[in-house]
Amino acid sequence: MPKPKFYLTTPLYYVNDVPHIGHAYTTIAADALARYKRLAGFDVFLLTGTDEHGQKVLQSAREANLDPKELADRVVIVYERLWEKLSISYDDFIRTTEPRHERAVISLFNKLYANGDIYKGTYEGWYCTPCETFWSSSQLKVAKGKPRQGREARCPECGREVEEVAEESYFFKMSRYQDQLLEHIEANPDFIKPPSRRNEIVNFIKEGLRDISISRMAFTWGIPVPVDPAHVIYVWVDALTNYISAIGYSMDPEKFNKLWPADLHIIGKDIMKFHAIVWPTILMAAGLEPPQRIFGHGWWTAEGQKMSKSRGNVVDPNQVVEEFGVDAFRYFLLRDVPFGLDGDFSRDALIQRVNADLANDLGNLLNRTLHMVTRYFDGLVPGPAHEKEEDRDLQALPSEVLPEIDGYMENLEFSAALEVVWRLVRGTNKYLDSTKPWVIAKDMEKKPRLGTVLYNSLEALRIITLLIFPFMPNSAGRIWEQLGMPEDLERQSLVRAKEWGILSPGTKIGKIKPVFPKIE
């Protein structure tokens, strides 16, 4: 039987600046889920990439005295290096300046134009370049007590100044798809997650969808409108199309039909409307299915403050990794805050989390188990003898926690899933505390009992390693080696977490090296 497919995406990151922890967060979450799904037997396709057109990137390039493509080429390398450092197992990386992408955007535009869903009009309103978003006068925020005039007009999203625009533009007839979109959202309760964001979107649509401007004439850094090259396609329409251009829309029907619709778009809460309104209506107009699910996660502040260049408090993921290691960073981001809610990144919180969960709970379990195997069994996996009730309790734990973990992962509740994994970690520590193998070891006659206890502890560790692999692939790999497991961890299946007794007695365990040192 062919494996079922699972196609998931991250947003495309703007190349106007280097990545910070917010960008790392979305990508790490997507990677953890991709790895989990692979373990669970899915044929996973994880897509990420960069958003390179538009005024925002153009402005940064000008400030840096570079051609925008040159700037993009430089920043893309920074992203690729970071993804490698963060162990992101993406299957494809798409850049919006690639010919394969541009061809798909043009095909999609032509399709909508031929259907009569695109028309030429005049746009009069306001533009926020940092958000790359159009606003009407009634949507604007006006600085307190001041008249609504050019300079005082501010973006309702980010609060920054907006620029007045009046130009000829192409429009997409989004209003035409309002009812269809609402029906779709109502018929598919899982389409927009979490539910709070779904409600926001539904309320917004109910206020009435307008047609949206989808081209600009003020600059040329973008994909030209095929029927009128004096215009470039609006950067959001360009960027959203990546989700289909990367899988062969209009070029490779076999690949496209296999992967579309996407199973999941993971995004931040700020770009929800583009993904849950603009994108699905464009797809409907093109006769394509909407994605299965869109999940909007929360935002990180840094040490209690909004991250911004002007405050100088932007957290560089490279630095965090250098200081604490990649897996500690991944674990903290996914464990400390429920996905979907906002969180605060602080060094103290990270250190506390890592020391308590990784160094203490898991690190100690691993160290004491492996050291006892070395000391009492010359580093060879002992064989289990007859079992007692306390052994059976431990053996029953995995089949108890696995369905729970699966349910949480299905809902992207990473923090809750990890909490359940730690029930197994703590349960195994408790098992050692109550069976006291170091006391049993004093009586030579009880060697079979000692072997049983340590075998069970090793087996629990094997299962824990499989379960933490999606979150901490490097540490899991190191534990795997120390347990003496011969098979490739990446090729393991979750089914193996349900089976007790996989380790073969007599196997030599690996060299013991601390995996989670305590941070002082």
Residues contributing to the site for ligand MSP (CB under 6 A): 11-14, 22-23, 25-26, 51, 239-240, 242, 267-268, 270-271, 299-300, 307
- Rounded to the nearest angstrom, the gap between the alpha carbon of residue 87 and the centroid of all alpha carbons in its chain is 12
- CB closer to ligand MSP, 48 vs 435: 48
Pairing assessment for the beta strands 5-14 and 43-51 based on DSSP bridges: parallel
At residue 244, what are phi and psi to the nearest 5 degrees?
-105, -30
Kindly state the smallest distance separating residue 341's Cβ from ligand MSP, in Å.
11
Q: For ligand MSP, which residue has the nearest CB?
A: 268
- Can you tell me the distance from the alpha carbon of 43 to that of 255, in angstroms, rounded to the nearest whole number? 13
Which residue, 256 or 300, is less far from ligand MSP as judged by CB? 300
- Nearest one of 40, 51, 41 to 9, comparing CA atoms: 51
**Measured from the CB atom, is 15 or 381 closer to ligand MSP?**
15
The nearest distance, CB 432 to ligand MSP, in angstroms, is 39
Name which of 155 and 450 has its Cβ closer to ligand MSP: 155
Least distance CB 158 / ligand MSP (angstroms): 11
Pair of tokens at residue 440: 């049993």
Tell me the C-alpha distance between 443 and 433, whole Å.
18
Give one word for 279, left, alpha or beta, with left for phi > 0 and alpha for psi -120 to 50: alpha
Instruction: Please report how close the Cβ of residue 223 comes to ligand MSP at its closest, in angstroms.
Output: 14
Pairwise CA distance, residues 417 & 225, whole Å: 46
> How far, in Å, CA of 421 to CA of 396, rounded?
14
Minimum gap (Å) between residue 292 Cβ and ligand MSP: 17
Closer CB to ligand MSP, residue 117 or residue 132? Answer: 132
Instruction: In angstroms, give the least distance from the CB of 49 to ligand MSP.
Output: 9
**Rounded least distance, CB 40 to ligand MSP, Å:** 25
Nearer to ligand MSP, 93 or 500 (CB): 93
DSSP readout, 355-414? Answer: IIIIIIIIIHHHHHHHHHHHHHHTTBPPPP-S--HHHHHHHHHHHHHHHHHHHHHHTT-H
**Are residues 452 and 500 in contact, defined by beta-carbon separation less than 8 angstroms?**
no
29 and 282 in contact (C-beta within 8 Å)? no
CA nearest to 418, candidates 499, 484, 479, 337: 337
For residues 104 and 91, give the distance between their C-alpha atoms in angstroms, rounded to a whole number.
19
Class of residue 316 by CB neighbours under 10 A (exposed 0-12, middle 13-18, buried 19+):
middle
Q: How far is the CB of 382 from ligand MSP (least distance, A)?
A: 47
d(CA 349, CA 336): 8
Angle between helices 326-336 and 21-39 (to 10 degrees): 90
User: Of the candidates 369, 328, 401, 360, which has an alpha carbon nearest to the alpha carbon of residue 510?
Assistant: 369
* Contacts for 195 with CB less than 8 Å, ≥ 6 apart: none
List of residues 6+ apart from 140 with CB closer than 8 A:
126, 148, 153, 154, 155, 156, 162
Taking the complex as a whole, the smallest distance from the CB of residue 262 to ligand MSP amounts, in Å, to: 12
Nearer to ligand MSP, 336 or 459 (CB): 336
Neighbours of 48 (CB within 10 A): 27
User: Which C-beta is closer to ligand MSP: that of 38 or that of 197?
Assistant: 197
Query: Minimum distance between the CB of residue 238 and ligand MSP, rounded to whole angstroms?
Result: 9
Q: Which is nearer to ligand MSP, 79 or 480 (CB)?
A: 79
Question: By three-state DSSP, how is residue 267 classified?
Answer: strand
Strand, coil or helix: what is 98? Answer: coil
> Shortest approach of ligand MSP to residue 428 CB, angstroms?
34
Considering the complex, state which of residue 291 and residue 477 has its C-beta at the smaller distance from ligand MSP.
Answer: 291
Residue 183 C-beta-side C-alpha neighbours within 13 Å: 6
For the CB of residue 13, give the shortest distance to ligand MSP in the complex, in Å: 4
